[in-house]
C-alpha cells in the first residue's frame, strides 16, 4: 500500500499535479480540454524506482530482492515464456537488462531456494532446467490467475507425472545400466515423447518396476 497521497499545490515542483491543456488543432474547436496526470514522483513509487534503477537509468536487481511464490508468479506472467515445440518444453524468465553477476549471484540462487534449477543462457535470460519445470509450476500454480495468460500454463501433463530413469534408479536404489537393459528388452514399459525420446516412467510403469524389483531380489 502507498503511504498516503500528498496534497498537491501549484508551488510544489517536486511532484506532478494534475494539469489541463487545450489542443484545438488536434481535437477540434469544440474541445474543452484534456486532463493528464503523472504519479512517477510519488514518494513511494520513487523509492521503489530508486531500488531498481541507478541515477543513470540502468536497471539493477536489489540485493535484498525477495524471490517468493508471489514474486515469481508475477515475474512469469509479465516476463516469462513457455515454449512447447517438437516434444520439448522450455521456460525462460527475461533478465535481458541485468548484469551477469546479478543473474547468477542473486536471481538464480533465489530460485534454487525453491528447488528450481536454472542457467543464464546466451541471451542473458534465465532458462529453467527441464527437470525443474514441474517444481516451477508446483510453486506458482498450474492455473493462470489471469485468463489471457493461460497459454503460459499449458506444458504437457506427462511432464508433471513422468520420472527420468536416473530419478527411478535413485528412488529404488537400482543399477542404471540394468534398468536401461530391461527397457531395451521391453520388460519394463516406458513413455517416450518421440520415437527417439528418452524413456520416462509414469505411475503404471513404476508399478512394473516394483514387481521386477521383487523378482530380482528372489533371483539373487
Whether 110 and 40 have beta carbons less than 8 Å apart is answered as no
pLDDT of 40 reads 55
Cα distance between residue 217 and residue 220, in whole Å: 5
Strands 88-93, 126-128: pairing is antiparallel
Strands 118-120, 163-164: pairing is unpaired
Task: Answer yes or no: is 61 within a domain.
Answer: no
Write phi, then psi, for 165 (nearest 5 degrees).
-60, -40
Same-domain status, 151 and 170 = no
Task: Answer yes or no: is 57 within a domain.
Answer: no
Domain with residue 195: its CATH number is 1.10.1660.10
pLDDT of 212 reads 86
- Closest to 199 measured CA to CA, from 158, 171, 170: 158
Domain count, the chain: 3
Same-domain status, 129 and 87 = yes
Task: Answer yes or no: is 62 within a domain.
Answer: no
Cα distance between residue 208 and residue 191, in whole Å: 13
Task: Answer yes or no: is 110 within a domain.
Answer: yes
pLDDT of 39 reads 57
pLDDT of 110 reads 97
The segments of the chain whose pLDDT lies below 50 read: 1-13, 15, 219-220
Same-domain status, 140 and 181 = no
Task: Answer yes or no: is 127 within a domain.
Answer: yes
Task: Answer yes or no: is 112 within a domain.
Answer: yes
Range of the structural domain that residue 188 is part of:
162-219
Whether 202 and 161 have beta carbons less than 8 Å apart is answered as yes
Task: Answer yes or no: is 63 within a domain.
Answer: no
Same-domain status, 172 and 212 = yes
Amino acid at each position: 500500500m502507498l503511504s498516503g497521497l500528498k496534497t498537491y499545490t501549484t508551488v510544489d515542483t517536486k511532484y506532478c499535479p494534475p494539469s489541463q491543456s487545450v489542443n484545438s488543432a488536434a481535437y477540434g474547436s469544440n474541445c474543452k480540454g484534456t486532463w493528464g496526470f503523472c504519479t512517477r514522483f510519488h514518494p513511494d513509487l520513487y523509492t521503489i524506482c530508486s531500488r531498481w534503477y541507478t541515477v543513470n537509468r540502468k536497471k539493477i536487481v536489489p540485493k535484498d530482492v525477495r524471490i517468493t511464490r508471489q514474486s515469481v508468479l508475477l515475474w512469469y506472467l509479465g516476463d516469462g515464456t513457455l515454449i512447447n515445440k517438437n516434444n520439448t518444453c522450455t521456460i525462460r524468465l527475461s533478465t535481458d537488462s541485468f548484469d551477469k553477476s546479478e543473474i547468477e549471484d542473486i536471481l538464480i540462487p533465489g530460485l534454487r531456494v525453491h528447488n528450481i534449477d536454472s542457467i543464464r543462457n546466451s541471451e542473458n535470460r534465465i532458462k529453467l532446467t527441464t527437470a525443474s519445470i514441474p517444481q516451477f509450476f508446483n510453486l506458482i500454480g498450474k492455473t493462470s490467475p489471469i485468463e489471457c495468460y493461460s497459454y503460459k500454463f499449458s506444458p504437457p501433463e506427462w511432464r508433471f507425472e513422468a520420472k527420468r530413469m536416473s530419478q527411478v534408479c535413485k528412488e529404488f536404489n537400482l543399477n542404471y545400466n540394468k534398468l536401461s537393459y530391461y527397457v531395451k528388452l521391453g520388460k519394463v514399459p516406458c513413455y517416450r515423447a518421440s520415437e527417439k525420446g528418452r524413456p520416462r516412467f509414469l505411475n503404471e510403469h513404476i508399478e512394473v518396476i516394483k514387481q521386477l524389483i521383487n523378482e530380482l531380489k528372489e533371483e539373487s
